[in-house]
């Protein structure tokens, strides 16, 4: 049975906040693991990124959304523990 995740296993964002509630699989169904920013048509949108690049990206994104920097640092600390990076 497939496990369902609350947060994207690539960037850590809540899947609820993702456009369409998640990325798309190759067959067009909604991914239960990755958000629409990371995953589309069954593939990662940034396949070459290191975990450090993802952390920088998410920090920037959170800043754009108006979160203070320390919160971005706190949030992105958990990214290396996500499925994609383990």
Comparing CB distances to Zn ion, the nearer of 37 and 49 is 37
Contacts with Zn ion in 23-82 (CB under 5 A)? 35, 37-38
Give the angle subtended at the CA of 15 by the CAs of 39 and 33, to the nearest 5°: 50
Shortest reach from residue 13's CB to Zn ion, in Å: 5
Closest residue by Cα to residue 49 from 6, 10, 23: 10
Find the part of the chain contacting Zn ion (CB under 5 A) among 11-19, 47-55, 58-66, 77-85.
Answer: 11-19
Q: How far apart are CA 55 and CA 36, in angstroms?
A: 17
Interface contacts to Zn ion, rule CB under 5 A: 8, 10-11, 35, 37-38
């Amino acid at each position: 049975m497939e496990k369902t995740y609350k947060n994207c296993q690539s960037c850590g964002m809540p899947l609820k906040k993702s456009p369409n509630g998640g990325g798309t699989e190759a067959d067009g169904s909604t991914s239960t693991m990755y958000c629409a920013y990371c995953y589309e048509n069954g593939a990662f949108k940034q396949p070459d990124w290191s975990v450090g690049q993802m952390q920088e990206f998410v920090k920037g994104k959170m800043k754009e959304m108006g979160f203070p920097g320390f919160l971005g640092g706190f949030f992105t600390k958990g990214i290396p523990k996500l499925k994609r990076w383990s």
